């Protein structure tokens, strides 16, 4: 076999490999189409961070995966892409209970009706931390498929604040502690302090 023929065989093999990878990616995207319900258009307007009952936390949006396989990123609407983000919990708006505004990516919205649970974890696909500081929101799509969205708050104190704010909608905590007796508020006197 000449060198030219060897190069030709190599190019054909590479073409087949890339073709198969592309087909697999398309199949994966079709399998996760129900997750697109969480992607909101970015032109819905900025939210007022001083709104009553709203908690605003900065951090990193890690990824959205299927609940069955936490190593399987959701490719629809860029939900599997990591980005710096701001997470907002608005207790007075069940249609936008959790809103994650990502830099350079679509906004992720989880309504109160879709939210199944919130827990702490050490990490998920693409990002692992030393302690249980990552918040994992499990939510249900219209077809019943379960997805998990990971968010890593910048400050450790914000983990408990978000978890407590969402406990009132899910009725469960990830650490097995007793339920908090008072809701988290954003007043300067209580901001950053654990609930009593």
Q: What is the dihedral of CA 119, 40, 61, 97, to 10 degrees?
A: -30
- Whether residue 111 contacts residue 45, with contact meaning beta carbons closer than 8 Å, is answered with no
**Residue 67 and residue 118 in one domain:** yes
Work out the percent of the chain whose per-residue pLDDT is above 70.
Answer: 70
> In the predicted model, what is the mean pLDDT of residues 181-191?
37
Asked whether residue 140 falls in the same domain as residue 83, the answer is yes
Domain count, the chain: 2
| Average confidence (pLDDT) over 30-52 | 55
User: Has residue 145 been placed in a domain?
Assistant: yes
Residues 6+ apart with CB under 8 A from 1: 9
CATH number at residue 112: 2.30.29.30
Structure-token pair, residue 55:
């908690």
Both 155 and 111 in one domain: the answer is yes
Query: Maximum distance among all alpha carbons in the chain?
Result: 79
pTM comes to 0.66
21 and 85 housed in the same domain: no
Residue 25 lies in a domain: yes
Distance, CA of 64 to CA of 67 (rounded, Å)? 9
65/159 same-domain check: yes
90 and 140 in one domain? yes
Average pLDDT over residues 144-160: 90
In which domain, by residue range, is 89 found? 37-170
Do 119 and 84 belong to one domain? yes
Length of the chain (residues):
196
CB 115 within 8 A of CB 133: no
Domain match, 44 and 25 both: no
25 and 69 part of one domain: no
| pLDDT at residue 58, rounded to an integer | 94
- Is 20 in the same domain as 43? no
Question: Residue 132 CB: number of other CB atoms within 10 A?
Answer: 15
Task: Report d(CA 164, CA 182) in Å as an integer.
Answer: 9
Higher pLDDT, 130 or 33: 130
- Report pLDDT for 61: 92
Mean of all residue pLDDT scores within the chain: 75
pLDDT band at 62 (very low <50, low <70, confident <90, very high): very high
Hunting for tokens 């399987």 — which residue is that?
A: 72
- What integer pLDDT is reported at residue 145 of this predicted model? 86
């Amino acid at each position: 076999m000449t060198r030219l023929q060897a190069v030709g065989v190599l190019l054909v093999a590479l073409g087949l490999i890339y073709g198969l990878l592309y087909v697999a990616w398309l199949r994966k995207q079709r399998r996760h189409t129900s997750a697109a319900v969480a992607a909101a258009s970015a032109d819905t307007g900025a939210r007022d961070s001083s709104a009553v009952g709203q908690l605003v936390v900065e951090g990193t949006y890690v990824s959205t995966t299927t609940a069955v396989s936490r190593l399987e990123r959701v490719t629809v609407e860029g939900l599997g892409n990591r980005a710096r983000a701001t997470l907002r919990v608005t207790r007075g708006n069940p249609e936008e209970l959790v809103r994650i505004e990502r830099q350079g990516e679509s906004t992720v919205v989880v309504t109160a009706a879709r939210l199944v649970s919130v827990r702490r974890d050490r990490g998920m696909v693409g990002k692992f931390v030393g302690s249980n500081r990552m918040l994992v929101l499990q939510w249900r799509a219209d077809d019943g498929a379960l997805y998990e969205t990971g968010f890593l708050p910048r400050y450790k104190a914000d983990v408990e604040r978000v978890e407590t704010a969402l406990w009132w909608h899910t009725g469960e905590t990830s650490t097995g502690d007793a339920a908090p007796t008072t809701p988290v508020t954003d007043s300067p006197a209580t901001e950053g302090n654990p609930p009593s």
